[in-house]
């Protein structure tokens, strides 16, 4: 059953410009948001999940889910736990959703980093969130390397695209034996 959540929106009425929702009886999934996303992605399997605006290439939920599972397994293998932070720092592409969903599958916290800001701002974000892994686009590789060094951090930098110094995102898409079927 689909609920029209817009019908539940209350217009700002207290002069504070805050949009509120009416009380609902929706209970969060006790297994976590990542589990809920997993269930819904399985449920919508062959439906179109996303379309690349530049190329027109579309992908199904099953295709995206497979990559999310593979990346989640690699994150888990790297020791990422629910106590850790994973920080996407990337623009829009077909793996952006994977960068946001896969960490949730292992229960990790997300902390988005806007690497387009000044190095001082990025350093502040890294110091504040202490990410175990940053998933970043190639254009911010050098800036993030410098920030990680300045933060005296052991953060792993994963790059969307080719890289010689850091972990290529493609490495996280490689299957890990039978773990994928047991996920």
pLDDT grade for 52, boundaries at 50, 70 and 90: very high
**Residue 142's pLDDT is what?**
98
Q: What is the DSSP string of the chain?
A: ----GGGGEE---SSS---EE----PPPPTT-HHHHHHHHHHHTTTSEEEE-TTT--EEEHHHHHHHHHHHHHHHHHTT--TT-EEEEE--SSTTHHHHHHHHHHTTPEE----TTS-HHHHHHHHHHH--SEEEEEGGGHHHHHHHHHHTT--PEEEEES--SSSEEGGGGGS--TTHHHH-
Calpha distance 183→177 (Å, rounded): 11
Structural tokens at position 143? 């800036």
- Please name which of 85, 17, 67, 16 lies closest in space to residue 176, comparing C-alpha atoms: 67
Q: What is the pTM of this model?
A: 0.85
**Residue 182's pLDDT is what?**
81
Calpha distance 162→155 (Å, rounded): 19
Q: What is the mean pLDDT of the chain?
A: 91
Q: What is the mean pLDDT of residues 86-108?
A: 97
Tell me, which fold does domain 32-182 have in CATH? Rossmann fold (3.40.50)
Beta carbons of 34 and 101 less than 8 angstroms apart: yes
Calpha distance 126→36 (Å, rounded): 28
Spans of all domains in the chain: 32-182
């Amino acid at each position: 059953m689909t609920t029209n959540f817009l019908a539940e929106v209350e217009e700002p009425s207290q002069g504070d410009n805050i949009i509120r929702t009416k009380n609902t009886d929706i209970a969060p999934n006790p297994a976590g948001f990542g589990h809920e996303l997993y269930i819904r992605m399985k449920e919508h399997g062959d439906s179109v999940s996303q379309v690349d605006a530049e190329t027109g290439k579309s992908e199904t939920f099953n295709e995206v889910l497979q990559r999310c599972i593979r990346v989640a397994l690699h994150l888990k293998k790297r020791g990422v736990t629910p106590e850790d932070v994973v920080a996407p720092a990337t623009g829009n592409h077909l793996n952006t959703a994977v960068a946001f969903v896969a960490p949730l599958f292992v229960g990790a916290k997300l902390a988005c980093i806007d690497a387009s800001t000044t190095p001082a701002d990025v350093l502040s974000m890294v110091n504040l969130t202490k990410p175990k892994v940053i998933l970043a686009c190639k254009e911010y590789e050098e800036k993030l390397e410098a920030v990680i060094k300045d933060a005296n951090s052991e953060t792993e930098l994963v790059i969307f695209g080719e890289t010689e110094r850091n972990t290529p995102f493609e490495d996280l898409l490689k299957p890990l034996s039978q773990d994928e079927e047991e996920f």
